[in-house]
C-alpha cells in the first residue's frame, strides 16, 4: 500500500516538474502551443483509458463528448449568454447525461458490437454538429469567446500552457486516485472476468456505466479547454478521425497505464510536427512508426519500457 | 434448517434437456456433493443456482427467500458465492487485489470520495487489504500476495479463487471442481480447507470428480445422470447404489464391481 501511494506521488511530482521545467527550454511560443495540445489530448486520453484500459470497454466515438464540450463553450456564450466558465460545466454535465442515457443500452454489448455502437454515437453527434449550422456554424465551425475567470481574461499560448497543464495534473491525480479504490478494482475486475466480478457482487452494468460517464466528462472538459485555447472550433474535433486518434493515443501509450496516456499523447501530437521534414511522406512515416512500435511494444510504450527496466533491475 | 433449496430445476438448450427436474437442499455447516459422469449437468446446475443462467422451470430459495432468476451480483449480496471449474481469476490484478475484489460487498463504494481519495477511502482500503491478507494466509498464499495472479501456478489459483469467494463472507459456497488438475498434496490441502469452511457454518455445495475427496468430506451426495437426479444419500448409500455403479461403469462394469 505504502509503495503504491508513493508511486502515485512520484508520478504526480514528475509530471509537475516536467510541466514546470519545459518552459525553460522552449525557444518560441509555438512550442507552448504544441505542449498545450499535448496536455489537452492527454486529458481526454486519460479519461478514455479509464474506460478502455481499466474497465475494458471500447469506445470508437469518444470525440463526440470532446465535441460536446467544445461546442458547449462556443454556443453557450454566443447564443445563450451563458458565462464561458459555466458553459464548460454545462458541457461536462451534458456529456455525462448523454453518456448515461446512451451507455445504459449499449454497454450491454461486448467487444466489436460495442465498438460499432459507440462509433454510431460518434457519427451521430458529428452529423448534428455539422448540419445544425444555425447554432454551430456548420462545417465552417464557429468562433469561441475568451474564457474569463474572476475578471481575468485567459488568453495567449503561454497562459494556456499553464492552464491546460494544471488541468492535466488534476485529471491525472483523480485517475490515479480512482485506481486504488473499490470502484477502480471493480473496473479492473470486470475487465478480466465479468462473470467472476458478478459472483463476488460487482454490479457490472453499473460500473461500466460509471466508467463511460467518467470518460465522457474527461473528454468534454478537454474539448472545452481546446475550444477556449484556439478561440475557434470546427466539427473535425467531434469527428471519427479524432475518435480514432484518441484510441490510438491510449493503445500506443499503454492500455491501463495513466502515464502511458500522457506519453502516447506526447508522441502522437509532436510526431507529426517533427515529421514535417519528410514533406509529402509525413503521414506514411507516422503510420509506419505506429505500426513498428505496436509490433515491438505490444503492451504500449510505458508498460513495455517499464517492464524492460524491471527485468533489468531484477537480473 | 435449510439455507439453500433448489426445487425441480430444469433448463433446455435447443432440444437438449441439460438439467431436468433436479432438487436439492443444504444446511449451514453441511457439505453436499453433486457428482455424475461428464455432461450430467452439474456445472449447468451451478450456473442456474448462481444466477448466470435463467432456468426454464423450478425455484431457488435462499434463506427462505425466493431468489429464482436474480442476477449473480444480487445473489452475492444475499450470501451466495462460487468458484469456477475453468479458472476465473482476475489475471492482471495481484493475488491480494483479487481477494480485495471479493470484499466488494463489504465496502462502501461511492464514486465522489473515490475520485478525490478522502481519508475514509484510504482507511477502508487499509482494512480491506488487511482482511484480504488474512484470507490469503488462511489458504496459504500470503507470500505471493503482491504477485500478479496471472503468474501463479494452477493449484495456487484454485486456492485463490476459494479465498476470493470467502472474502464476501458467504452463507452458501458453491465450489465447481476445486481439486481438478491438482496433485495429491494440493488436493489434500483443498480437502482441509473445505472442511474448515464448513465447520465455520458455511453451507458448501461441491461439484467434484475426485471420488476419494468426495467420499471423504461429503455429508450428502447427489448423483446426476444426463440432467436427471439418479440417487441421493450419504456417501456410503451412494457408493453401494447399483444404479450409480451402472451410470459410472456401465452394466458390465457394475456386474464386475458387484462380484468384486
Question: Residue B92 and residue A181: Cβ atoms within 8 Å?
Answer: no
The whole-number average pLDDT for the span A239-251 is: 94
Q: Which of B93, B107, B116 sits opposite A177 (nearest CB)?
A: B116
Phi-psi region of B36 (alpha: psi -120 to 50; beta: other; left: phi over 0): left
Task: State the nearest Cα–Cα gap between A179 and chain B, in angstroms.
Answer: 9
Question: What is the residue extent of each domain of chain B?
Answer: 4-259
CA–CA gap between residue A23 and residue A19 (Å, rounded) = 8
Helices B95-102 and B154-167 meet at what angle, rounded to 10? 30
Residues of A in contact with B118 (CB under 8 A): none
Task: State the nearest Cα–Cα gap between A196 and chain B, in angstroms.
Answer: 6
Is the four-CA dihedral A74, A75, A77, A79 of positive or negative sign?
positive
- B-contacting residues in A 149-178 (Cβ below 8 Å): 174, 177-178
**Residue A311 sits at the chain B interface (C-beta within 8 Å):** no
What does the DSSP 8-state code read for residue A278? G
In a domain, A149, yes or no: yes
CA–CA gap between residue B145 and residue B132 (Å, rounded) = 9
Residues of B in contact with A196 (CB under 8 A): 84, 88-90, 164
In a domain, A164, yes or no: yes
Could you report the per-residue pLDDT of B231-258, keeping only the tens digit for each? 999 999 988 888 888 877 676 666 666 6
Least confident range of B98-102, B133-137, B250-254: B250-254
Q: Is the pLDDT of residue B260 over 80?
A: no
Tell me the three cell numbers of residue B22. 433436479
Residues of B in contact with A210 (CB under 8 A): 111
Residues of A in contact with B91 (CB under 8 A): 192
The whole-number average pLDDT for the span A99-116 is: 94
Least confident range of B50-54, B186-190, B229-233: B186-190
Average per-residue pLDDT in chain A? 92
Q: What are φ and ψ of residue B8, in 5° steps? A: 55, 50
- B-contacting residues in A 176-195 (Cβ below 8 Å): 177-178, 180-186, 188-189, 191-193, 195
Q: Report the chain A residue with the minimal C-alpha distance to residue B117.
A: A177
Q: Which CATH number fits domain B4-259: 3.40.50.300, 3.60.130.10, 2.60.40.10, 3.40.225.10?
A: 3.40.50.300
The pLDDT score that the predictor gives to residue A284 is 87
Q: Quickly state the pLDDT bin for B259 (edges 50, 70, 90).
A: low
Q: Report the chain A residue with the minimal C-alpha distance to residue B125.
A: A181
Is the four-CA dihedral B240, B245, B247, B252 of positive or negative sign?
negative
N residues, chain B: 260
Tell me the three cell numbers of residue A222. 478537454
In a domain, A216, yes or no: yes
Q: Report the chain B residue with the minimal C-alpha distance to residue A190.
A: B90
Question: Residue B76 and residue A198: Cβ atoms within 8 Å?
Answer: yes
Question: Residue A201 and residue B129: Cβ atoms within 8 Å?
Answer: no
Q: If DSSP codes are grouped into helix, strand and coil, which group holds residue A163?
A: helix
The whole-number average pLDDT for the span A267-271 is: 93
Q: Quickly state the pLDDT bin for A121 (edges 50, 70, 90).
A: very high
The whole-number average pLDDT for the span B88-112 is: 93
Is the four-CA dihedral B147, B153, B155, B157 of positive or negative sign?
positive
- Structural domain tally of chain A? 1
The whole-number average pLDDT for the span A33-46 is: 97
Task: State the nearest Cα–Cα gap between B195 and chain A, in angstroms.
Answer: 21
By CB atoms closer than 10 A (0-12, 13-18, 19+), residue B57 is middle
Tell me the three cell numbers of residue B123. 482507511
CB A285 within 8 A of CB A98: no
Q: Is the pLDDT of residue A53 over 90?
A: yes
Comparing CA positions, the residue from B57, B68, B52 lying closest to residue B12 is B57
Q: Which of B105, B117, B126 sits opposite A177 (nearest CB)?
A: B117
The pLDDT score that the predictor gives to residue A277 is 84
CA–CA gap between residue A195 and residue A202 (Å, rounded) = 9
Q: What are φ and ψ of residue B16, in 5° steps? A: -90, 125
CA–CA gap between residue A207 and residue A201 (Å, rounded) = 12
Q: Quickly state the pLDDT bin for A5 (edges 50, 70, 90).
A: low
In a domain, A305, yes or no: no
Task: State the nearest Cα–Cα gap between B94 and chain A, in angstroms.
Answer: 11
Q: Report the chain A residue with the minimal C-alpha distance to residue B46.
A: A199
Residue spans of alpha helices (H) in chain B: 42-49, 72-77, 95-102, 111-116, 119-138, 154-167, 184-199, 211-217, 235-239, 242-259
Portion of chain B with pLDDT greater than 90, in percent: 69
Is the four-CA dihedral B47, B53, B57, B61 of positive or negative sign?
positive
Portion of chain A with pLDDT greater than 70, in percent: 98
Residue with cell 502516447: A264
A150: containing domain? 33-239
pTM listed for this prediction: 0.92
Question: Residue A178 and residue B115: Cβ atoms within 8 Å?
Answer: yes
Q: Report the chain B residue with the minimal C-alpha distance to residue A189.
A: B90
In a domain, A288, yes or no: no
Q: Report the chain B residue with the minimal C-alpha distance to residue A194.
A: B88
CA–CA gap between residue A133 and residue A131 (Å, rounded) = 5
Tell me the three cell numbers of residue A165. 497543464
Residues of B in contact with A199 (CB under 8 A): 50, 52, 72-73, 75-76, 81-82, 165
- B-contacting residues in A 47-106 (Cβ below 8 Å): none
What is the CA angle B87-B91-B95, rounded to 5?
95
Q: If DSSP codes are grouped into helix, strand and coil, which group holds residue B101?
A: helix
Tell me the three cell numbers of residue A179. 485506481
Q: What are φ and ψ of residue B207, in 5° steps? A: -105, 125
Tell me the three cell numbers of residue B118. 478522502
Q: Is the pLDDT of residue A1 over 50?
A: no
In a domain, A114, yes or no: yes
Comparing CA positions, the residue from A178, A74, A287 lying closest to residue B116 is A178
**Residue A1 sits at the chain B interface (C-beta within 8 Å):** yes
Tally of CB atoms within 10 A around A256: 24
Give the CA dihedral B197, B199, B200, B204, nearest 10 degrees: 50
Least confident range of A162-176, B57-71, B104-118: B104-118
Question: Residue B90 and residue A177: Cβ atoms within 8 Å?
Answer: no
In a domain, A180, yes or no: yes
Question: Residue B76 and residue A201: Cβ atoms within 8 Å?
Answer: yes
ipTM: 0.90
Q: Which of B111, B116, B164 sits opposite A200 (nearest CB)?
A: B164
The pLDDT score that the predictor gives to residue A69 is 97
Contact residues of B toward A, CB < 8 A: 50-52, 71-73, 75-77, 81-82, 84, 88-93, 97, 100-102, 104-105, 107-109, 111, 114-117, 121, 124-126, 128-129, 164-165, 167-168
Question: Residue A174 and residue B101: Cβ atoms within 8 Å?
Answer: no
Q: Report the chain B residue with the minimal C-alpha distance to residue A192.
A: B90
In a domain, A188, yes or no: yes
Residue with cell 457490472: A204
Could you report the per-residue pLDDT of A130-188, keeping only the tens digit for each? 999 889 988 989 999 888 887 778 888 889 999 999 999 999 999 999 998 999 999 99
Amino acid at each position: 500500500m505504502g509503495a503504491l501511494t508513493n508511486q502515485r506521488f512520484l508520478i504526480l511530482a514528475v509530471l509537475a516538474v516536467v510541466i514546470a521545467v519545459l518552459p525553460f527550454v522552449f525557444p518560441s511560443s509555438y512550442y507552448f502551443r504544441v505542449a498545450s495540445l499535448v496536455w489537452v489530448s492527454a486529458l481526454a486520453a486519460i479519461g478514455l483509458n479509464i474506460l478502455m484500459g481499466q474497465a475494458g470497454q471500447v469506445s470508437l466515438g469518444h470525440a463526440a463528448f470532446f465535441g460536446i464540450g467544445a461546442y458547449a463553450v462556443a454556443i453557450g456564450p454566443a447564443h445563450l449568454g451563458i458565462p464561458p466558465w459555466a458553459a464548460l460545466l454545462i458541457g461536462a454535465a451534458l456529456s455525462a447525461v448523454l453518456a448515461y442515457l446512451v451507455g445504459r443500452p449499449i454497454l450491454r454489448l461486448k467487444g466489436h458490437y460495442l465498438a460499432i455502437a459507440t462509433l454510431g454515437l460518434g457519427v451521430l453527434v458529428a452529423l448534428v454538429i455539422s448540419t445544425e449550422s444555425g447554432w454551430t456554424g456548420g462545417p465552417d465551425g464557429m468562433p469561441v469567446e475568451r474564457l474569463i475567470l474572476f475578471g481575468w481574461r485567459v488568453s495567449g499560448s503561454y497562459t494556456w500552457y499553464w492552464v491546460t497543464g494544471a488541468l492535466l495534473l488534476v485529471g491525472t491525480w483523480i485517475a490515479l486516485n480512482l485506481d486504488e479504490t473499490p470502484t477502480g478494482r471493480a473496473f479492473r475486475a470486470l475487465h478480466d472476468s465479468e462473470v467472476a466480478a458478478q459472483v463476488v457482487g460487482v454490479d457490472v452494468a453499473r460500473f461500466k456505466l460509471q466508467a463511460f460517464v467518467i470518460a465522457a466528462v474527461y473528454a468534454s472538459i478537454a474539448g472545452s479547454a481546446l475550444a477556449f485555447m484556439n478561440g475557434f472550433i470546427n466539427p473535425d474535433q467531434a469527428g471519427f478521425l479524432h475518435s480514432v486518434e484518441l484510441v490510438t493515443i491510449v493503445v500506443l501509450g499503454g492500455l491501463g497505464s495513466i502515464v502511458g496516456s500522457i506519453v502516447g499523447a506526447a508522441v502522437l501530437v509532436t510526431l507529426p510536427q517533427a515529421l514535417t521534414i519528410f514533406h509529402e511522406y509525413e503521414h506514411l512515416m507516422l503510420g509506419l512508426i505506429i505500426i513498428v512500435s505496436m509490433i515491438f511494444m505490444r503492451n504500449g510504450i510505458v508498460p513495455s519500457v517499464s517492464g524492460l527496466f524491471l527485468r533489468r533491475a531484477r537480473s | 434448517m435449510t439455507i439453500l433449496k433448489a426445487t425441480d430445476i430444469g433448463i433446455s438448450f435447443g432440444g437438449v434437456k441439460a438439467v431436468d427436474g433436479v432438487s436439492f437442499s443444504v444446511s449451514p455447516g453441511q457439505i453436499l456433493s453433486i457428482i455424475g459422469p461428464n455432461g450430467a449437468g452439474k456445472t449447468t446446475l451451478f450456473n442456474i443456482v448462481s444466477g448466470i443462467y435463467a432456468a426454464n422451470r423450478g425455484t431457488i430459495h435462499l434463506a427462505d427467500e425466493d431468489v429464482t432468476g436474480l442476477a449473480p451480483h444480487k445473489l452475492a449480496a444475499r450470501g451466495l458465492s462460487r468458484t469456477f471449474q475453468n479458472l476465473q481469476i482476475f489475471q492482471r490484478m495481484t493475488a491480494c487485489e483479487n481477494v480485495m475484489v471479493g470484499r466488494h460487498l463489504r465496502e462502501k463504494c461511492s464514486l465522489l470520495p473515490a475520485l478525490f481519495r478522502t481519508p475514509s477511502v484510504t482507511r477502508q482500503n487499509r482494512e480491506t487489504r488487511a482482511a484480504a491478507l488474512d484470507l490469503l494466509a488462511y489458504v496459504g498464499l500470503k507470500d505471493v500476495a503482491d504477485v500478479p495472479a496471472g503468474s501463479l501456478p494452477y493449484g495456487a489459483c484454485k486456492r485463490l479463487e476459494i479465498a476470493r469467494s470467502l472474502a464476501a463472507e458467504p452463507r452458501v459456497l458453491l465450489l465447481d471442481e476445486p481439486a481438478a488438475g491438482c496433485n495429491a498434496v494440493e488436493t489434500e490441502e483443498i480437502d482441509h480447507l473445505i472442511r474448515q469452511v464448513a465447520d465455520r457454518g458455511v453451507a458448501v455445495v461441491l461439484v467434484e470428480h475426485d471420488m476419494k475427496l468426495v467420499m471423504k468430506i461429503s455429508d450428502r451426495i447427489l448423483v446426476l445422470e444426463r440432467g436427471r437426479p439418479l440417487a441421493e444419500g450419504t456417501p456410503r448409500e451412494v457408493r453401494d447404489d447399483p444404479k450409480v455403479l451402472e451410470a459410472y461403469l456401465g452394466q458390465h462394469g457394475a456386474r464386475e464391481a458387484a462380484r468384486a
